[in-house]
């Protein structure tokens, strides 16, 4: 079997990114111990839902508010910014990198936002148990670039990720992609429409409610250009 085999089932799925980085600070360990469990969307953890039954996203937030999704939130700056800016929306952030989750939890404490849930895992584990057409907006900010051609199939903008995403997004829902990699733009423009989205805009200027992320700041320091793409689910 090749290193990059296509994983179509949860049992065969690989995650190629990092789960852990530098040793966590004591405060970050405290955030994880004290805050994370209460912030997980109801019924989504393996312990709560071992048979992976479809969940009711209306239970994630009390009042059936619009549901947004951020995939790979990194340090969580965009996620917390959006939650503060749109208090009437509920946003689920997915990130398997525990150091990023710990950073987010610190930011949630500081900002005092209450309209966030945290899925500290691969977003595909969430797709498995979401019903059709339940997400109103999705953010994919600076996804892992996987620059080598033989690794392009690991990118998020591949059918393995995009088809489940398309299934859970409502017709008309917005899908935003920010990247600093020209070849990622190419693949995004090829693959996302095939998965059931229309391109709405492609710009070097960010959305008016954008906040720059850690990864974007690194890209700017290193002289790479920004690309902001907006799609709409058919």
Ligand X SMILES: C[S@@+](CC[C@H](N)C(=O)[O-])C[C@H]1O[C@@H](n2cnc3c(N)ncnc32)[C@H](O)[C@@H]1O
> In terms of Cα–Cα distance, which of 166, 137, 11, 1 is closest to 78?
137
Please say whether the beta carbons of 197 and 166 come within 8 A: yes
CB atoms within 10 A of CB 59: 12
What radius of gyration, in Å, describes the C-alpha atoms of the chain?
17
What is the set of active-site residues? 144
Of 31-39, 54-62, 119-127, 186-194, which part binds ligand X (CB under 6 A)?
A: 119-127
Q: How far is the CB of 158 from ligand X (least distance, A)?
A: 11
- Contact characters 128-147, ligand X, x per CB under 6 A: -------------xxxx---
The nearer residue to ligand X, 3 or 198, going by C-beta atoms, is 3
Q: How far is the CB of 20 from ligand X (least distance, A)?
A: 11
Angle at the Cα of 122 (from 210 to 18), degrees rounded to 5? 90
Positive or negative, the CA dihedral 218, 220, 223, 226 is positive
144 has binding-site annotation: yes
- The answer to the question of residue 94 lying near ligand X (CB under 6 A) is yes
- The answer to the question of residue 120 lying near ligand X (CB under 6 A) is no
Question: Nearest 10 degrees: CA dihedral of 150, 201, 82, 86?
Answer: -150
Q: How far is the CB of 124 from ligand X (least distance, A)?
A: 6
**Given candidates 152, 214, 224, 232, which one binds ligand X under the rule CB under 6 A?**
214
Which residues are near ligand X by CB under 6 A?
Answer: 17, 71-74, 94-97, 100, 122-124, 141-144, 213-216
């Amino acid at each position: 079997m090749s290193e990059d085999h296509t994983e179509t089932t949860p049992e065969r799925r690989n995650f190629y990114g990092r789960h852990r980085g530098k040793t966590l600070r004591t405060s970050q360990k405290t955030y994880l111990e004290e805050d994370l469990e209460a912030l997980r969307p109801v019924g989504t953890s393996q312990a709560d839902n071992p048979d992976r039954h479809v969940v009711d996203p209306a239970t994630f937030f009390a009042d059936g508010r619009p549901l947004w999704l951020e995939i790979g939130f990194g340090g969580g700056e965009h996620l917390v910014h959006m939650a503060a800016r749109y208090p009437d929306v509920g946003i689920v952030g997915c990130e398997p990198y525990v150091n990023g989750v710990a950073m987010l939890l610190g930011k949630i404490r500081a900002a005092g936002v209450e309209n966030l849930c945290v899925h500290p895992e691969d977003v595909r584990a969430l797709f498995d148990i979401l019903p059709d057409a339940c997400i109103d907006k999705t953010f994919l900010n600076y996804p892992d670039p996987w620059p080598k051609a033989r690794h392009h199939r690991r990118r998020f903008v591949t059918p393995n990720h995009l088809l489940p995403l398309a299934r859970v997004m409502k017709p008309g829902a917005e899908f935003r992609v920010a990247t600093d990699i020209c070849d990622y733009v190419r693949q995004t423009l090829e693959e996302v429409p095939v998965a059931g989205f229309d391109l709405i805009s492609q710009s070097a200027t960010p959305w008016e409610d954008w906040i720059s992320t850690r990864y974007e700041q690194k890209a700017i320091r290193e002289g790479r250009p920004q690309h902001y793409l907006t799609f709409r689910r058919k």
